[in-house]
Structure 1
Amino acid sequence: MLNNSKKGLLLLIVATLFWSGNYICGRYLSPALPPTLLNTIRWAISALILFGMIRASKQKLPLFSKWKEFSLLGFLGIFVFSTLTYEGLTLVSASRAGMISALIPIFILLCTPLVLKEKVSSRAWIGSLISIVGVYLLFQSKEPVSGSGSLMGDILILLSCVAWSFYTVLGKKYSASIDPLT
């Protein structure tokens, strides 16, 4: 039986595998499927699974009372993030997209004071900067790949990161009134 800290670590590893798999699958499927169709299929499957989990836990789904919040979160986190990511993956490699996505923590820290009116601690900034330096060093050790991306692909992935950052910060804002599973 796993204790809570080991269970949490295992869940973080599984989440990372799923997120990284998104870039790899998106890169391989992007020539075969338009980004919007790929996005629709991905989220339709996810919605069915999540809806089943909500039904199994006997939770209510406050779609009508929280429609503004769900619409905004859905637009940013499901439509904009995923569509821009898949569109960007038609132009850049999965590893390049992953490297650009390492900027998400910085964008979250930039969005936090705007949306939540919270001050970001220097510890959070230092942690994010260490993360960025680590990703930079990791990719510096690889052979340079010519033609592994385009400026437009980089911009699309960067914009997807900004959308995800706002989605994350707004998710925190709405978490007081909306259950995370919902």
Structure 2
Amino acid sequence: MTGWRDSPALAWVGLVLASLCWAGNALVARAFAGEIPPFSLAFWRWSTALLVLLPFVVRPLWRHRQQLRAAGWRLWALAALGIAGYNCFLYSAAHSTAALNLTLVNTCLPLALFLGSGLLLGEWPSRRAWLGIGVATVGLLWLIARGNWQLLAGLSFNPGDLLMLLAVLDWALYTLLLRRWSAHLQVPALVQLGVLILLGVPLLLPLYLFELASGARFVPSAHNLSAIGYTALCASLVAYFLWNHAIRVVGAARAALSNYLMPLFTALLGWLLLGEGLQPYHWAGGALIFAGLLLATRPARG
């Protein structure tokens, strides 16, 4: 019998919360791009997360050491992709491209996971799901265009956008492998997250040391430390735990649809925290995004 922890509805609530946490992470990445170097932010984000999580997972890690040893290189690959690679690409991109471009490139993730789920996992989405992703994409583009389609024609791209595209492909591969290797990772979700962070921090250390050697440093002010604290607790521990759990329950392709909520939440957070007013195109784009998500995730009637 499936337990309440494996409820699809609960998994979707978790995905919504994860998207909210990552929307805040995008705001932090942009706001502190001139204050904290990218590799420093990635290293201290995950080091702080590890310090917080380790007391709760030390004993479970030891109890499940046989399963973790059997997973072996798969855990190293997931840590390299999901902990080290993705965050370095993301924070580097935030230093060299506009927020609008980050959002636009990020729309490639659901499509990449839809195709990857079919090719690598044999989990082809239904026609309803493809229609839903189309509706959600229209809503997202309407947000990006600010209600004026002509603005899309005027978008320009730079090398930072390539870094964001690499981040999207990196995250797509992490998600697909996490789903494909689920049979080899039969440990509690918190233990899985703990071991990935434990392996990911040493992978980030050489990049951090290289950055220090190049003279890139940040001032450990209360302002900067609070940003690192947010990324460690919310964008790392909470969001990754919820995402990894949802991949097991609803699959990679369906979980990816929650990605469309991130720019909507970014606009809402900008309104709440920065006083940026919500315009009619925000509401129209948000309605299309939610309609697309409901259409794609609603089970077909027998």
TM-score class normalised by the smaller sequence: 0.7 to 0.9
For residue 25 of structure 2, what is the aligned residue in structure 1? Answer: 22
Distance 1:6 1:139, change over 3 A: same
Letter in 2 for 1:40: F
Letter in 2 for 1:152: P
Do structure 1's residue 155 and structure 2's residue 168 form an aligned pair? no
Q: Distance in 2 between matches of 1:82 and 1:46?
A: 14
Residues 112, 118 of structure 1: 8 Å contact kept: yes
Asked which structure has the greater RCO (Cα within 8 Å, sep 6+), the reply is 2
Residues 92, 149 of structure 1: 8 Å contact kept: no
Name whichever structure is richer in helix by fraction: 2
Secondary structure of the 1:51 match is helix
Do structure 1's residue 88 and structure 2's residue 89 form an aligned pair? no
Do structure 1's residue 48 and structure 2's residue 55 form an aligned pair? no
Q: Distance in 1 between matches of 2:8 and 2:123?
A: 28
Letter in 2 for 1:22: N
Do structure 1's residue 167 and structure 2's residue 174 form an aligned pair? yes
Letter in 2 for 1:122: R
Per the normalisation by structure 1, the TM-score is 0.80
Consecutive unaligned residues of structure 2, counting only runs of 5 or more, are 1-6, 193-302
State how 1:5-154 maps to structure 2 within 5 Å: 10-55=13-58, 60=64, 62-141=67-146, 150-154=157-161
Secondary structure of the 1:43 match is helix
Q: Distance in 1 between matches of 2:12 and 2:111?
A: 23
Greater Rg over alpha carbons, structure: 2
Distance 1:7 1:40, change over 3 A: same
Question: How far has the Cα of 1:10 moved from its partner?
Answer: 4.8
Question: How far has the Cα of 1:170 moved from its partner?
Answer: 0.6
Q: Distance in 1 between matches of 2:9 and 2:178?
A: 25
Consecutive unaligned residues of structure 1, counting only runs of 5 or more, are none
For residue 274 of structure 2, what is the aligned residue in structure 1? Answer: none
For residue 183 of structure 2, what is the aligned residue in structure 1? Answer: 176
Q: Give deviations 1:143-168, integer Å, cap 9, x for gaps.
A: 859x9974211111111101101111
Residues 114, 124 of structure 2: 8 Å contact kept: no
Letter in 2 for 1:165: A
Residues 76, 167 of structure 1: 8 Å contact kept: yes
Residues 26, 86 of structure 1: 8 Å contact kept: yes
Distance 1:174 1:7, change over 3 A: closer
Q: Distance in 2 between matches of 1:6 and 1:77?
A: 25
Question: How far has the Cα of 1:39 moved from its partner?
Answer: 1.0
Residues 118, 125 of structure 2: 8 Å contact kept: yes
Q: Distance in 1 between matches of 2:156 and 2:96?
A: 6
